[in-house]
Amino acid sequence: MCFSLAMGSFSTNITHLVLSQGIGFGVGGCIAYSPSILFMPEWFDKKRGLAFGIVWAGSGLSGILFPIVLENLLRRFGFRMTLRILSALLFVLPLPFLYFHKSRVPVSSGVAQRRLNTRFLFNRVFVIYQLVNIFEALGFFLPGIYLPTFAHSLGVSNFLASLTVTVLNVASIFGSISMGFLSDRYHALTCISISTVGTVLSVFLLWGFSSHIAILLVFCFAYGIFAGSFSAIWSAIIREVQQADSASDATIIFSAIAFGRGVGNVVSGPFSEMLLRVDNWHGHAQGSYGSGYGLIILCTGLTSFMGVLCWVGRAFKCV
């Protein structure tokens, strides 16, 4: 990850950036953070969901701090030196914590490796939750991408436009911890329902009719609380899948769920660009739906609404 950042600073064309920042940084980042998540089931049992929530809250915290740091570094040093500084920081800062970053039960060389069990991938419980996860990811990232430009369309300053993403990230900290706490006590279906209802209402009513920056900031907070907390439900989903297939491994289930979210994330970029090009509501629909971002708002709300698939699965006794 750090090597890719450093190499990215020497890029002279798009291909170099794709290889360093796109592929290298992505693979390195995944390898770097995965042990923190995969060790979690070994250290936490009764409060595993809360632990997951606190870890995911770290993403919201970094979403607050890094833009501020990056803006100052870019303004002062330019993008090449900024990438080199970030590479050094991301290498040095985690070093003091590596001692504590370990498995609870050391792996014995005399113990035979277990055969990889992927049977749960075809279990109807996992399939339902994975579909909801992919659909949710398809729309989840859109507000974070388009909120600043949407805020500019309301005539606000650069500071207020960037504040929209900051508020969203702040809210996701509280949302992740709260949802992690709830996921230890309630069924995954209950937690997904809370996230789905809150997200859908905030998108269609608050963002859909944001005529003032104050309303938009309220939306950002609500969206961060409800949509930003979805990943904290994964521990409850893993628990439900393991109850349906006792031979399944929590770390493999997590990897499969993370892969599904990644698929939604990758698809959402080009899909949202297509929506912006074909949006014919501009100037014709009410509220923000006629701002040129109407289909983006609709897509975000509808993909969140796909959480209703869990209730369909419940009706057919799949979850």
Listed in order, strand segments (DSSP E) in 44-144 are: none
Q: Kindly report, residue by residue over 119-174, the tens digit of the pLDDT.
A: 899 999 999 999 999 999 999 999 988 999 999 989 888 888 888 988 999 999 99
Contact 209, 287 (CB under 8 A): yes
215: CATH: 1.20.1250.20
Picking from 291, 295, 243, the residue whose alpha carbon sits closest to that of residue 268 is: 295
Please say if the pLDDT value at position 280 is more than 90. no
Q: How many CB atoms neighbour CB 306 within 10 A? A: 19
Say if residue 255 is in the same domain as residue 143: yes
Residues 282, 190 within the same domain: yes
Same domain membership, residue 229 and residue 129: yes
Q: What angle do CA 250, 257, 227 make, to 5 degrees?
A: 120
Sign of CA dihedral 121, 123, 126, 129: positive
d(CA 62, CA 160): 19
Q: Are residues 228 and 89 in the same domain?
A: no
Instruction: List Cβ neighbours of 97 (8 Å cut-off, separation of 6 or more).
Output: none
Residue 207's pLDDT is what?
Answer: 94
Q: What is the pLDDT of residues 201-247, one digit of tens each?
A: 999 999 999 989 999 999 999 999 999 999 899 999 999 999 988 88
CA dihedral 180, 129, 309, 280 (to 10 degrees): 90
Number of domains the chain is built from: 2
Range in 12-16, 43-47, 231-235 with the lowest mean pLDDT: 43-47
pLDDT at 192: 94
Question: Domain range holding 311?
Answer: 117-315
Q: What is the mean pLDDT of residues 250-267?
A: 88
Residue 134 and residue 81 share a domain: no
Residue after which a domain boundary falls, among 103, 131, 160 = 103
b/e string for 72-95 if b means 16 or more Cβ within 10 A? ebeeeeeeeebbbbbbeeeeeeee
